Structure 1
């Protein structure tokens, strides 16, 4: 138990939503790069964007559904799904921008 004279840390509103955004942002980039770096898949970049989105979105939905159905102390939250999706979309837009810049620099 912490001592009684220790002040409680300040609460940051909606910190969990920031965590959802950051996790899915990083997850999507890593997932995307895993497939993009495979030389056989380079021609299928558009499909990699779609696959990355579908996997990240599905994972977010599944986790929230599982939280709601199999745990007693947690509940699913549609705003968590929204911020998961937002992190994924921002990551994919960033990857599209970076890939476009890299292709211009290669030519």
Structure 2
């Protein structure tokens, strides 16, 4: 994936998450599945972390892959916490939820695990 394309995708996904998390809660359709919102949060941050890893891997090719994973994971966690703070203090229809932060972190963690497994298999295939 080209560097500019990966940046565009990562940035667009970031804006999509920001939009979805800050729109009025009434604008979001209610689906009667318990904790579905937590699964959605985990998915959003799984993709967020994945897209930023792809970009940083292209942008900083000489940087260790472990550092890129750690930075992308940290970025996802900080972004998730920031969104919760924005919901609490900058909207009137949303509120912060520590379980959303945990779901976000779970999604980011799963992305890192997938990359570690993928990278390990790729390394073994080269031997």
TM-score, scaled to structure 1: 0.84
What CA distance in whole angstroms lies between the structure 2 residues aligned with 1:91 and 1:10?
26
- Give CA-to-partner distance per residue, 1:25-84, whole Å, 9 cap, x none: 11111111112234x524411210110111000000000000000111110000000000
Match in the other structure for 1:19? 40
Unaligned runs of 5+ in 2: 1-29
| 1:49 partnered with 2:69 | yes
Match in the other structure for 2:101? 81
Report SS of the residue matched to 2:123. helix
Judging changes above 3 Å, is the alpha-carbon distance between structure 1 residues 67 and 99 closer, same or farther for their aligned structure 2 residues?
same
Report SS of the residue matched to 1:76. coil
- Give CA-to-partner distance per residue, 1:66-103, whole Å, 9 cap, x none: 00001111100000000000000011011010011011
Aligned length: 98
Match in the other structure for 1:92? 112
Unaligned runs of 5+ in 1: 1-8
What CA distance in whole angstroms lies between the structure 2 residues aligned with 1:89 and 1:61?
15
Q: Which stretches of structure 1, 4 residues or longer, exceed 4 Å deviation after superposition?
A: none
